Structure 1
Amino acid sequence: MRKYNEELLRDLHRFVIAYQRTNGKSPTYRMVARMFPTDFSSTAKIGKYLDVLAKRGLIERNDDGSIKVDKRFKAEAVNAPLVGQVACGEPIEAIENIEGSFVLPAEIYGRGELMLLKADGESMKNVGIDDGDYIVIRKQDTAEYGDMVLAIIGTGGTVKTFYPQPDGKIILHPENEEYRDIVVDDCLIQGIVVGCMKRYR
């Protein structure tokens, strides 16, 4: 019966788990070989050591022989297009131009159809949205009282807090005392704010 280096098995297992925890995916055989350049001279040897770890119940393998990601570390992601900018002040023309696409963690921003908009203005700064931030929007056409929404007024879009009134009016409230409420008879809800990303220079 072939003997395996127990210390190498432990180190390989630790590497696989640490990689999955950090990256939400498993390392490839090539990554394993780069991590252990003097221990693994071939992918066949890597496969045999992974087989031992699998037989001991320490890892699982996919049908193609790759390492299955431990469900504790599997990262679920959502693709979100960057579709221009939105007013955090007075409404600006709502033109949807896709400028790029980003992968966002579902655990943080939730699931559904997401998009990113660049904030223009300071009307929402008291809730942490500053000029130039990237606002994460979940697309939907309904909102609850007190939600932060992406609202379309005529041809203009703006992000504000949504307060429908008993008389049918809608108050779009800026979270900055230097700005005034926008009061409208109707508006089109295009989504609600589920997050904000900052870039520091």
Structure 2
Amino acid sequence: MSTIKMTNHGGSRKGAGRKPKSGGKTVVKRIPASLVGEVDNLIVQARTETKVPMDAMFPSKNPIELLIPLALEKIPAGFPSPAEPYIAEYIDFNKYLISNPAATFFARSGGQSMLDAGIDKDDILVIDRSVTPKHRDIVMADLGNEFTIKRLHKFPDGRIELHSENSSGDYPNFSPKEGDTWAIVGVLRFIIKDYR
């Protein structure tokens, strides 16, 4: 008569397998080999600099100069005036919108909390991380688990608040407290809208 020896092999075992790194749960993603270096650089940048949204867009490292004619006459928003066919100069939006390419990125507005400031959902926001934020600037802030666009208020007693600007809804302000994890990512420089 033979005996069958029972072993506890195979299947999952408590505590087995790779341990999660300090960053939390990991995932595997496949990317083209040509992008590995760029992704590695983005990871290093994300660990050493202020975070930016994952879907942020960055200016080209080799922008193509594109000169757009700028009319000599200002166009009145009130009463119409005869159009003058004169061109004052040409502008290149790479230079006009971006004063510091290494510190500039673009992000789409994700909501309507700043509607009264002229920022609609899906507007492209030009954010400059090299600009020192001043009282009443519109800033992008990292609140630890989310990004937000708000009006910066600096008070004489040192308090800072981030205010929403939409009178048609209940959009909260943010008042950082002692121990809160948050940072100002950059200052809004321009808004690019689609009016159609």
Q: Normalising by structure 2, what TM-score?
A: 0.48
Give the strand-richer structure, 1 or 2: 1
